[in-house]
Amino acid sequence: MNTSAQDPVRTLGTVERMDKKLDELLAPDAQLEILAEGFTWTEGPVWMGDAKNGHLLFSDIPRNSIFKWTAKEGIQLFMNPSGYTGVAYYGLEPGSNGLLKDLDGNLVMCEHGDRRISVLTPQGGKRTLADNYQGKRLNSPNDGALKSNGDIYFTDPPYGLPAREKDPRRELDHFGVYRLSKKDGSVTLLTTELQRPNGLGFSPDEKTLYVAQSDPKNAIWMSFDVKADGMLSKGKLFYDATSEVGKKPGLPDGLSVDSQGNIWASGPGGIWIFSKEAKLLGLINTGERTSNCAFGEDGNTLFVTADSYLCRIKLKVKGTP
């Protein structure tokens, strides 16, 4: 599972350049480095702490675990269970999915099995932030994005339910994008326009929210204008990748936005790189089902979770603070 500093650098896939602007973001010799492998299904990478003393956390959803990676020590188990604390079998994807930090730097988890958004407190215990909408249990919170005022925007598709949309435990009649208020802890439904909402992220000025849809029949990314009160306008199609479904493994999933407003989004075959004008600049072709990506270390490193792999690639642009 681990690779050490003494091991030769192993890489995954290739970089495909479609626009010369990509040269400003990614050096010509940039490669996707394999940091570790042998997991079941990696997801939700998040960098914790500063560049020198920080570490990466990421989910292995089927294992109901969160793993920790550092350059010095490699892989260590950080948390188990991570997303399901029940005593009965709970499907193939019971663990945590998306991970993020709150304003205080605490770890926030989107938990499939326990069907909630939770936070790891400084004392080491978990606290539930949200597990229902208007008294009905959430389906399976998938991914989240932090707004600078402390609000957490998150998606709630059916993927963590053992029988997905047909699961008898399902209580809501929709799959939505929500806002969890920092001020009062309330949960607000923002949109149900996407049938399979997944990864999401804000533009640097927080005036736009990008949301991926993991629907093989409508594999798209949408953009939503964020209103002054935090609500969303009607969504607009940002990019449609449906024609690539089946040709390459995977679907639109997690995403991150850099400080210039470019979107780095997992999709069929790897990481799709878009300008804020929705122009496809290039692809990091992993050849694997690629779930997510996140900036870390000095801000110029993009960590990528792809099927059983944890990888990274050095960029010439920093992530959004």
Note whether residue 320 is domain-resident.
Answer: no
* Contact (Cβ atoms closer than 8 angstroms) between residue 210 and residue 203: yes
Residue linked to tokens 């607000």: 188
Token readout for 288 is 């694997």
Which conformational region is residue 246 in: left (phi greater than 0), alpha (psi within -120 to 50 degrees), or beta? Answer: left
Note whether residue 6 is domain-resident.
Answer: no
Q: What is the mean pLDDT of the chain?
A: 96
Note whether residue 47 is domain-resident.
Answer: yes
Instruction: Say how many C-beta atoms besides its own lie within 10 A of residue 208's C-beta.
Output: 21
Q: What is the mean pLDDT of residues 53-72?
A: 97
User: Can you give the pTM of this predicted structure?
Assistant: 0.96
The reported pLDDT for the residue numbered 44 is: 98
Q: Is 240 a residue whose pLDDT tops 60?
A: yes
Note whether residue 2 is domain-resident.
Answer: no
Q: What is the mean pLDDT of residues 152-177?
A: 97
Note whether residue 114 is domain-resident.
Answer: yes
Note whether residue 1 is domain-resident.
Answer: no
Q: What is the mean pLDDT of residues 11-21?
A: 97
Q: What is the mean pLDDT of residues 180-198?
A: 98
Q: What is the mean pLDDT of residues 51-56?
A: 93
The reported pLDDT for the residue numbered 8 is: 78
- What is the tens place of the pLDDT at every residue in 77-130? 999 999 999 999 999 999 999 999 999 999 999 999 999 999 999 999 999 999
Written as one string, the DSSP assignment of 42-110 is EEEEEEES-TTT-EEEEEETTTTEEEEEETTTEEEEEESSSS---SS---S--SEEEEEE-TTS-EEEE
Q: What is the mean pLDDT of residues 36-60?
A: 96
The reported pLDDT for the residue numbered 134 is: 98
- What is the tens place of the pLDDT at every residue in 304-316? 999 999 999 999 9
Residue-number span of the structural domain to which 121 is assigned: 14-314
Note whether residue 319 is domain-resident.
Answer: no
Confidence of residue 6 (pLDDT cuts 50, 70, 90): low
- What is the tens place of the pLDDT at every residue in 18-40? 999 999 999 999 999 999 999 99
Residue linked to tokens 């990466």: 56
The reported pLDDT for the residue numbered 309 is: 98
Confidence of residue 1 (pLDDT cuts 50, 70, 90): low
Note whether residue 169 is domain-resident.
Answer: yes
Count how many domains the chain has: 1
CATH number of the domain within which 86 lies: 2.120.10.30
Q: What is the mean pLDDT of residues 157-179?
A: 97
Query: CA–CA separation, 142 vs 152, rounded Å?
Result: 12
Amino acid letter, 77: L
Query: CA–CA separation, 211 vs 110, rounded Å?
Result: 16
